[in-house]
């Protein structure tokens, strides 16, 4: 029964097999054909070598039974023909020729086996069976190899196309493999890295990395690393640093076979410890993402927040910090310090005569000379334009200050050579002494400023030390202060509106409310002249509230008249924002006038945030919960803004005018504009560029996909009536 079944299966298999029998004796052909057909094979015959070649050329066979001795065109010739034409059919030689040489030659030419004439049928079929079986195995192996190769190509493609560097480390932290990104980004080929320690790529020792590799040597499976920022060296070591976010995952036994198979012997370490599931720790799978560009933007933004980019000196913020520290230090040690206010004489005329670029060069050259007059520990900063402020800590007395001032004045007396021109400038210096003439940083700076004006009055290249007689000059601001009180009572304040347009649609989507003071004698006064004073005297609380109420009422009136709704942005001073009831005040005012909260925006500066970040987050969140938007004003001029920005519920950053103004001139500023826009996009914040004055600036900002702009190019701030006319005139 079993034998019958096997017989049936064999016949079934044979029926799929096409055999070509080749012999030059027709008698042999006929008898072999009959024999094979009896076993159910599909049989074809060729009388002689030539005919065999023709048939092989045009038909498909699984097996050739080939006679060797066939006159002119013998079996060797047929095999040579097959080899030449790439005809790949399993061949069994059937021949009376049994010399060792003949057999060897036939096998070497591609025959799979050899049957000696005369043969018994059993002998013949046994040989055919075993040959076909071997062929079957071979085919299967080839198919499998092709499959493996294909999937290996696929995986390599995926790994090499990854935007990140991908690599494998063994348990000791040496490379087993790296993808092609490693070579294109850092210059190391996978082959040269093999066996090299990951540590060798680090710019310096790194505690976390050392720790994990140390424990890894003992095959303690580690947690690996997750998004750790590392500086990795380029092969060329050009000094240009590249930063990466690196992640290392621990990998276990399974993959180790693969790691070893990557053709690189793992050091023959002792049997590794097994974990709970019986897997052993084998090494790391790592990825490294290049974050250099992001780091560069961040550090550029951070640097410019504390420095003047033209001269690379500390700016006002950094100077204020240093002065605070110096004052505290002087108090503790009973020392004197001096603050000097420096202002160049005739700088404006240099600018007007030779142009801004020479003006910029002059400022840089002046700074170089000033720095030569200073001691270590002194801080020179640029407050803007041609104004510098100098901090001299631990000074002996006023005589020392006078000496330094004299040195500075002398240092600038020699002409400057700029672009082939000889340029002369002078300098006026005012100084204030701590603690005698000012106990706080603001007062010290103000007094130094007053003394500087005194020096200007004395004539070019002068120095003046503040004394109380100069305080007279303050009377001006005291007068202003009392008048400002009246301004509120007498309804002398006005709100002007500056339109903000969308760069995509060119339509007005909002307005910023800006306060003005209509003074009965002096005419229209701009906020630059009275806001600081109002803040000092806390009158800004009343002024600010008045502006909000007035603007909300007026803009709501326009909406009621059928004007499409406009977003109203109102400036809030830090004192207002710090008030505990800020949120209620805003919400109550909006409710009182039935003003839709989603059209209201608060503009606050970054510095407000820094005092009480947690409290601010709460307030801003509750404003946001009411649908009210918050914009960061003068963005980029304050603190290193990136760290907290993403934590705050804010909607908009207002790119400061100073950056926009320099779009055509200084390259560095332009890249800050780029960096800020890129960052704002990354954080999905709206950007409003302020102070856009010409088409070049507008086009540049539009190209950067800065959504909104505001500035004289579109319109100056306008009284309500004029704004309505402006809106009506736009398509």
Interactions with ligand C2E, residue window 608-667 (CB under 6 A): 633-634, 657
From 200-208, 478-486, 584-592, 689-697, give the range in contact with ligand C2E by CB under 6 A.
Answer: 689-697
Token duo for residue 386: 């041609």
From 22-30, 151-159, 522-530, 639-647, give the range in contact with ligand C2E by CB under 6 A.
Answer: 522-530
Number of residues in contact with ligand C2E under rule CB under 6 A: 22
Between residues 129 and 529, which has the closer beta carbon with respect to Ca ion?
529
Residue ranges in contact with Ca ion by CB under 5 A: 571, 603, 633-634, 690
Q: Which one of Ca ion, ligand C2E, none interacts with residue 691, CB within 5 to 8 A by kind?
A: ligand C2E
Taking the complex as a whole, how short is the minimal distance between the CB of residue 303 and ligand C2E, in angstroms?
22
Query: Does residue 498 interact with ligand C2E by CB under 6 A?
Result: yes
Tell whether the torsion through CA atoms of 66, 69, 71 and 73 is positive or negative: positive
Taking the complex as a whole, how short is the minimal distance between the CB of residue 603 and Ca ion, in angstroms?
4
Query: Does residue 308 interact with ligand C2E by CB under 6 A?
Result: no
Q: Which one of ligand C2E, Ca ion, none interacts with residue 693, CB within 5 to 8 A by kind?
A: ligand C2E
Give 333-374 as a 3 state SS string: HCCEEEEEEEEEECHHHHHHHHCHHHHHHHHHHHHHHHHHCC
Here the contacts of 259-265 (C-beta below 8 Å, separation 24 or greater) are 259/168, 259/170, 259/176, 259/177, 259/283, 262/168, 262/176, 262/177, 264/176, 264/177, 264/194, 264/195
Query: Binder to ligand C2E among 87, 337, 350, 515 (CB under 6 A)?
Result: 515
Query: Binder to ligand C2E among 163, 328, 526, 615 (CB under 6 A)?
Result: 526
Query: Does residue 523 interact with ligand C2E by CB under 6 A?
Result: no
Token duo for residue 531: 């806001």
Residue nearest to ligand C2E (CB): 711
Query: Does residue 359 interact with ligand C2E by CB under 6 A?
Result: no
Residues 168 and 284 sit within 8 Å (Cβ to Cβ): yes
Between residues 347 and 635, which has the closer beta carbon with respect to ligand C2E?
635
Taking the complex as a whole, how short is the minimal distance between the CB of residue 713 and ligand C2E, in angstroms?
6
Token duo for residue 198: 């990951």
Residues 562-601, mask of contacts with ligand C2E (x by CB under 6 A): ---------x-x----------------------------
CA distance 79 to 58: 16
Query: Does residue 544 interact with ligand C2E by CB under 6 A?
Result: yes
**Residues 6+ away with beta carbon under 8 Å from 98:** 116
From 300-308, 339-347, 615-623, 686-694, give the range in contact with ligand C2E by CB under 6 A.
Answer: 686-694
User: Among the residues of 237-355, which ranges form H helices?
Assistant: 253-261, 292-306, 316-333, 347-354
Taking the complex as a whole, how short is the minimal distance between the CB of residue 664 and Ca ion, in angstroms?
20
**301-324 exposure pattern, b = at least 16 Cβ within 10 A, e = fewer:** beebbbbbbbbebbbbbbbbebbe
From 114-122, 460-468, 527-535, 681-689, give the range in contact with ligand C2E by CB under 6 A.
Answer: 527-535
Q: At what angle do helices 540-560 and 527-536 cross, to 10 degrees?
A: 130
CA distance 53 to 34: 22
The Cα angle at residue 468 between residues 467 and 473, in degrees rounded to 5: 105
Query: Binder to ligand C2E among 294, 578, 693, 726 (CB under 6 A)?
Result: 693
DSSP assignment of 416-465: EEETTEEE--EEEEEEEEETTT-SSHHHHHHHHHHHHHHHHHH-SS-EEE
From 19-27, 64-72, 299-307, 525-533, give the range in contact with ligand C2E by CB under 6 A.
Answer: 525-533
Binding site for ligand C2E (CB under 6 A): 498, 514-515, 526-528, 531, 540, 544, 547, 571, 573, 633-634, 657, 690-693, 711-712, 717
């Amino acid at each position: 029964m079993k034998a019958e079944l096997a017989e049936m299966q064999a016949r079934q298999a044979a029926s799929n097999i096409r055999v070509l029998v080749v012999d030059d004796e027709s008698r042999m052909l006929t008898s072999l054909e009959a024999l094979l057909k009896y076993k159910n094979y599909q049989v074809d015959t060729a009388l002689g070598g030539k005919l065999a070649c023709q048939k092989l050329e045009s038909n498909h066979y699984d097996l050739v039974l080939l006679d060797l001795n066939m006159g002119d065109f013998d079996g060797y010739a047929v095999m040579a023909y097959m080899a030449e034409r790439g005809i790949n059919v399993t061949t069994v030689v059937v021949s009376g020729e049994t010399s060792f040489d003949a057999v060897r030659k036939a096998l070497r030419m591609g025959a799979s086996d050899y049957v000696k004439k005369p043969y018994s049928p059993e002998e013949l079929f046994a040989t055919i069976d075993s040959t076909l079986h071997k062929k079957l195995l071979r085919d299967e192996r080839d198919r499998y190899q092709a499959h493996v190769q294909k999937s290996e190509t696929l995986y390599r493609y995926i790994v090499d196309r990854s935007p990140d560097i991908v690599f494998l480390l063994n348990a000791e932290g040496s490379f087993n493999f790296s993808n092609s990104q490693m070579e294109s980004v850092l210059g190391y080929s996978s082959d040269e890295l093999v066996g090299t320690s990951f540590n060798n790529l680090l710019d310096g020792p790194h505690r976390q990395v050392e720790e994990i590799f140390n424990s890894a040597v003992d095959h303690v499976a580690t947690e690996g690393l997750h998004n750790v920022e590392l500086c990795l060296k380029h092969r060329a070591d050009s000094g240009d640093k590249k930063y990466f976010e690196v992640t290392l995952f621990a990998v276990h036994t399974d993959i180790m076979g693969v790691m070893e198979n990557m053709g690189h012997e793992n050091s023959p370490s002792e049997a590794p410890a097994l974990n709970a599931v019986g897997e052993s720790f084998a090494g790391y799978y790592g990825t490294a993402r290049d974050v250099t560009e992001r780091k560069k933007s961040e550090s550029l933004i951070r640097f410019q927040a504390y420095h003047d980019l033209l001269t690379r000196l500390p700016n006002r913020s950094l100077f204020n910090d240093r002065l605070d520290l110096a004052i505290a230090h002087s108090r503790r040690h009973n020392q004197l310090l001096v603050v000097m206010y420096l202002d160049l004489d005739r700088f404006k005329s240099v600018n007007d005569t030779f142009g801004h670029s020479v003006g910029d060069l002059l400022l840089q050259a002046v700074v170089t000379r000033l720095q030569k007059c200073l001691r270590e520990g002194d801080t020179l900063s640029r407050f803007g334009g041609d104004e510098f402020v100098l901090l001299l800590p631990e000074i002996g007395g006023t005589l020392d200050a006078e000496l330094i001032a004299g040195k500075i004045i002398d240092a600038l007396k020699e002409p400057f050579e700029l672009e082939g021109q000889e340029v002369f400038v002078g300098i006026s210096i005012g100084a204030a002494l701590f603690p005698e003439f000012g106990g706080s940083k603001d007062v010290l700076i103000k007094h130094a400023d007053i003394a500087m004006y005194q020096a200007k009055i004395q004539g070019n290249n002068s120095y003046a030390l503040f004394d109380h007689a100069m305080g007279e000059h303050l009377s001006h601001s005291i007068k202003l202060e009392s008048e400002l009180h009246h301004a509120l009572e007498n309804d002398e304040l006005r709100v002007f509106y500056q339109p903000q347009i969308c760069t995509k649609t060119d339509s007005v989507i909002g307005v910023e409310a800006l306060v003005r003071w209509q003074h009965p004698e002096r005419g229209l006064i701009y906020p630059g002249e009275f806001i600081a004073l109002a803040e000092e005297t806390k009158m800004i609380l009343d002024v600010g509230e008045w502006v909000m109420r007035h603007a909300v009422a007026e803009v709501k009136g326009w909406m009621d008249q059928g004007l499409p709704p406009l977003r109203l942005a109102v400036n809030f001073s830090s004192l207002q924002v710090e008030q505990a009831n800020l949120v209620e005040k805003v919400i109550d005012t909006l409710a009182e006038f039935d003003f839709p909260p989603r059209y209201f925006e608060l503009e606050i500066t970054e510095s407000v945030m820094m005092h009480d970040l947690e409290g601010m987050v709460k307030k801003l969140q509750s404003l946001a919960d009411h649908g009210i938007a918050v914009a960061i004003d003068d963005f980029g001029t304050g603190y290193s803004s990136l760290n907290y920005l993403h934590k705050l519920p804010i909607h908009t950053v207002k790119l400061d005018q100073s950056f926009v103004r320099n779009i055509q001139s200084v390259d560095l500023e332009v890249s800050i504009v780029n960096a800020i826009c890129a960052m704002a996009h990354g954080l999905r914040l709206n950007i409003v560029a302020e102070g856009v004055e010409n088409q070049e600036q507008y086009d540049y900002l539009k190209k950067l996909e800065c959504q909104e702009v505001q500035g004289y190019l579109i319109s100056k701030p306008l009284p309500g009536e004029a704004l309505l006319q402006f809106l009506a005139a736009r398509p």
